Amino acid sequence: MVIQSNMSSKAISEVWEVTFEVFQRYNVPISEKTLQVLVNDNNLHVLITELNKVVGSSNTTCIEGG
C-alpha cells in the first residue's frame, strides 16, 4: 500500500509505527484528519514521499487496488 494524502496520520502511524518520527519532525499531529487537511500543500508531497520511503513503499512496489 502506498501512503496517500487522503489517509489520516492516525491510521498511518497505527499501521507503520516508524512513521511517528516523521510526523513529529514535520509537526503533524496524530489525528483522524487526512494529511491533505493537516499539511500545507507545499509540504504535502515532501511528507508523503518521506513517509513512503520510511515504510519502503512506492507506486512501483504496489499494484492498484491492493
Contact 9, 26 (CB under 8 A): no
- What would the grid cell of residue 26 be? 514535520
* pLDDT recorded at residue 6: 97
* pLDDT recorded at residue 64: 47
Give the residue extent of every domain in the chain. 9-55
Single out the residue of 53, 10, 52, 62 nearest to residue 35, CA to CA.
10
* pLDDT recorded at residue 57: 81
Q: For residue range 4-60, list pLDDT tens digits in order.
A: 999 999 999 999 999 999 999 999 999 999 999 999 999 999 999 999 999 998 654
> Under 8 Å CB-to-CB from 59, ≥6 apart: which residues?
2
* pLDDT recorded at residue 19: 97
Contact 4, 43 (CB under 8 A): no
More confident residue, 38 or 61: 38
